[in-house]
Structure 1
C-alpha cells in the first residue's frame, strides 16, 4: 500500500476541517492551512464530498465543513475510498484479490497478508478524532498499545 499525495492531502483537509468543526471554511483557507493548491484541493474535496465526509455551502459565506462528526470518520475507510486496497500485493488483497500463477507454493503471500492485516488493524481503529486529539496507536514490540 502506498498513500499518494491525494490521500495525504485529503487527510490534511479533513484535519483542518475537524479543527474548525461546525464552521464553514473557504477553499482558500483550507489551501493556506494544508499547503495544497486550490485546483488540486477542489478535486480532493469533491471526492470527500462524494463519500459524505464533507459538505459544501454555496454563497458569499460558502465553503466546506465536515459532513460527519470527527469520531465517525474512519481513517482506514477514507484511505480505501481514495486510494484503493490496503494490501501491498493484489494476491493478498481482500477487496481486490488477483490470483498469481506462483500462489500455490508462495512463501511471500503470508508476509503480504500480515502487512495488509497490520496496516488495516491500525487504520481501521483510527478516527479523525483520534488524530485531532493526538490519540495515536503506538506499536511497541509485538503488541499494539492504544493511547486513549
Structure 2
C-alpha cells in the first residue's frame, strides 16, 4: 500500500489543527503557507474530513477549521481510511496461495495496528519535540 499525497497532506492538516486545538480556528491558507502546500489542494482534502465529522468549519473573517473531536480520539487510521480508502497492501488477497495470503494479511494487520494506535495527540507531541532546539539551555 502506498500512501498518496491525499493521505500525507490530510495528516498534515489534522496535525496542524491538533497543534492549535483550543486556540481557535486555523485557516487552510495558514496551513498551506506554513507547510509549503497548495491551498486549493487542501480545500479538496478537508471536505471528506468534514463530511466524516473529524473537522468543523468556522465561518467569518477569523474563520477556518477546528477539530470536531479531541486529538486523542482521532487516529491516523481514521484519516487515512477517509482519504485513501481501505488499508490493503495488495488487491485480491483471497486469490493468493495460502502462504502468500498469510503474509499479506500479516502486513495489512501490522500497518492497521500502527495507524489505529497512533493518535493525532501522539503525532502533535512528536512534532512539538522536533521543534524544540536541542542546544537551548535555560538558567
TM-score grouping bracket, smaller chain normalisation: 0.7 to 0.9
Greater fraction of residues in helix: 2
Number of aligned residues: 126
Contact 2:15 2:124 in 1 (8 A): yes
Report the counterpart of residue 129 of structure 1 in structure 2: 121
TM-score calculated relative to the size of structure 1: 0.79
Structure 1 stretches of 4+ moved >2 Å: none
**1:113 partnered with 2:105:** yes
TM-score calculated relative to the size of structure 2: 0.83
**1:32 partnered with 2:33:** yes
Q: Which has the higher contact order (CA 8 A, sep 6+)?
A: 2
| Runs of 5+ unmatched residues, structure 2 | 128-139
Offset of residue 106 of structure 1: 4.3
RMSD after superposition: 1.6
**Partners of 1:78 and 1:26 in 2: CA distance:** 19
Report the counterpart of residue 6 of structure 1 in structure 2: 6
Offset of residue 59 of structure 1: 1.2
What secondary structure, in the 3-state scheme, does the structure 2 residue paired with 1:133 have? helix
Q: How does 1:1-148 map to 2 (within 5 A)?
A: 1-22=1-22, 23-92=24-93, 99-100=94-95, 103=96, 105-134=97-126
**Partners of 2:60 and 2:38 in 1: CA distance:** 21
Question: C-alpha deviations, 1:75-103, integer Å up to 9, x for none?
Answer: 112111211121111333xxxxxx43xx3
